[in-house]
Chain A
């Protein structure tokens, strides 16, 4: 019998802290656990008793990488409960703000977090020594995403202007117009970036999965839409907790999501969105998906990087369109009168669907909050991926096996800070 043991104390280049434990005997997985030791921060608990108006300032603190996603799920849900109608300008400015976050987050992940894996570097700085132009281009594109967030939100991390009802101040056309030539440049660079993504040596992990994302007949979904799955489900945010249930496992400070009826895991994020919304990708985004080797249906999670490249392109094209057509909302804030009830909403965070639910008192006080981030929805699916992937590579040397396992996890761009509200690898091969 072959007993082997491998350890990775911290899985690097993911947001937050976690560890992976695998025990294998004769090529068979005996035990596999993604351990989330990122400390719990109890957001849902201390939201209780605070005013609805403070929620857009509290929830972005769950995640520095996707603060806008947290603000948008909360704000839309509370506005629906309160019956607030926002102007078209507010709606468009929110989509633009979110596009900034998609560009920033996707490019950060492709080039600073994931690409070094595929090319065998410990980090992007080492990668930059051999590929200076590529890293420079990526950082410049990422900067555009950051600048969109800063111009609209005041700052890219934890923006200050998004409020329930609109924006405390709406960006002016002249603030946004200087972005246009930079966005046009970024768009012209994306096909070449798709070729780089296509050229990266990619492990294979073909398997049957159920993917879930928002769908919207009118546009690629970000802020608005129903939920759908590749297994034919269709539901909306109000029934989310009936469709998806959470399970608390001993090794994780993040809850695991499962389909309530089948008890099976599901997969959210860029690849799910592309699969369910491919026809609504913008023209250059379709070209980028094709050049990156992605055609739907595609369920291999190693195509997530190609999906991110396509979506970053979509976000660039959408930003150009939104800025060209932008009419500032006047006034920037709609009147908000709180009422008692249950607010629910889902938006598409860069990493997948982000569900918020708030039970609100008649004066607008938050009585109870529930937040289900994309990473915790994906955790069980990540474990399943590893169960499928690891037996095929158990013969590899320790260092390589560890790197491959990290790559499987990193396909999900896991944001562990979010999921606990992630990774050390410890492989025991007996």
Chain B
């Protein structure tokens, strides 16, 4: 607690697009209300007043992708009572985890003229692979309601719980037309956890997996359905290997349906 008696909250980022912490800035009115209940003491994107730990609650966005970040996250963990990782990058490595299956050197050379200047780990991995995480809020980006709900729960002393039910449940509840049944369009909805409000089917297209695998993920049946719809093994594999493709359930499904040119999971060492 800070001197004001309010919980001290910090926000950090690793490798990411800033979109998840922007959800906090985009909360506008709620932000001013929450600002009354907590002290945001370290949030570089929003404030130049950056205070050292300890923190009661820390939000971290982004995946682990450089050697420095491994040291930084260990320090953040030591400074933090309740660590929340936010977003697909922090919870499953993010879309940049697509590099995990490739040779990093090739990737660096594809993007940078002077590869020797670039320091990067071979993989982009979720934070929970490296330190204990108290709550993971998935999504690309996270849902503002889930974030504010989790913070409110914590403020009232309750450990937040998030649904792991699939997007399909939300889609049916909202009365959207099933894009897979009606249009034959591949949709990850049966295997992806809800949180977005089923916006993709609501906008006439298939879910592409922003919130990560549901429980159970049921990827076997879904992948077979994709094949029946006429997707090639590579297309089926790519559908799982996308925004949250490094989440174990999707990684396994991508390998099971893929054409086998990706390296197997156990060959990829997580530092």
A interface residues with partner B (beta carbon < 8 Å): 9-10, 12-17, 37-46, 48, 50-51, 54, 57-58, 60-65, 67, 108, 112, 116, 122-126, 128, 135-136, 139-140, 142-143, 146, 154-158, 160-161, 163, 167-169, 246-250, 252-253, 255, 332, 368, 403, 406, 415, 417, 421
Return the contact of B120 from the options A39, A57, A63, A139 (Cβ within 8 A).
A39
Tell whether A44 pairs with B117 under 8 Å between CB atoms, given A63-B18, A64-B22, A139-B28. Answer: no
Query: How many angstroms between the C-alpha atoms of A343 and B50 in the bound complex?
Result: 43
Q: How far is the CA of A229 from the CA of B242 in the complex (A)?
A: 39
A257 to B150, CA, bound (A): 43
Q: Are A12 and B117 in contact (CB under 8 A)?
A: no
Please determine whether B141 and A39 come into contact, CB atoms closer than 8 angstroms: no
Sample of 18 further A-B pairs with CB below 8 A, known A40-B118, A167-B203: A12-B46, A12-B48, A13-B44, A13-B48, A39-B120, A40-B65, A46-B95, A46-B102, A57-B208, A64-B16, A108-B25, A146-B26, A169-B205, A247-B113, A249-B117, A255-B112, A406-B48, A417-B17
Most buried by B among A15, A37, A41, A142: A41
Stretch of B74-82, B103-111, B130-138 that contacts chain A: B103-111
B96 and A160 form a contact (CB under 8 A): no
Q: Is B266 an interface position by the 8 A CB rule?
A: no
Residue numbers in B under 8 Å from A168 (CB-CB): 200, 203-205
With A61-B243, A169-B204, A253-B118: A39-B65 Cβ-Cβ less than 8 Å? yes
Candidates B95, B99, B111, B235; contact of A51 at CB < 8 Å: B235
Structural contact, A62 and B17, CB atoms closer than 8 A: yes
A and B contact pairs by CB, cutoff 8 A, 28 listed: A12-B50, A13-B45, A13-B48, A40-B65, A44-B111, A45-B107, A46-B95, A51-B238, A54-B242, A58-B95, A61-B19, A61-B94, A63-B17, A108-B25, A112-B46, A126-B47, A128-B32, A136-B32, A157-B19, A157-B22, A157-B26, A160-B205, A168-B200, A169-B204, A250-B117, A255-B112, A415-B18, A417-B17
Flag whether B29 is at the interface (Cβ < 8 A).
Answer: yes
Chain B positions 194 through 213: 1 when the CB is less than 8 Å from some CB of chain A, otherwise 0:
00100110111100101000
A46 to B19, CA, bound (A): 20
The answer to whether B17 touches A248 (Cβ under 8 A) is no
Q: Is the CB of A248 within 8 A of B114?
A: yes
Let me know if B193 is at the binding interface, CB within 8 A: no
Q: Which residues on the B side are within 8 Å of A40 (C-beta)?
A: 65, 108, 111-112, 118, 120
Contacts of B141 in A (CB 8 A): 64, 155, 157-158
> Are the CB atoms of B111 and A64 closer together than 8 Å?
no
Do A169 and B65 have beta carbons less than 8 Å apart? no
B205: A residues at CB distance < 8 A: 160-161, 163, 168-169
| Known contacts A10-B44, A64-B19, A248-B112; A50/B28 CB under 8 A | no
A156 and B26 within 8 A (CB): yes
* Interface flag for B57 (CB, 8 Å): no
A424 CB to nearest chain B CB (Å): 10
Contacts of B32 in A (CB 8 A): 125, 128, 135-136, 139
Contact A61 B47 (CB under 8 A): no
CA distance A34 to B111 in the complex (A): 20
> Which B24-68 residues sit within 8 Å CB-CB of chain A?
25-26, 28-29, 31-32, 35, 40, 43-50, 65-66, 68
Are A17 and B23 in touch, CB under 8 angstroms?
no
1/0 per residue, CB under 8 A from A, across B144-188: the answer is 000000000000000000000000000000000000000000000
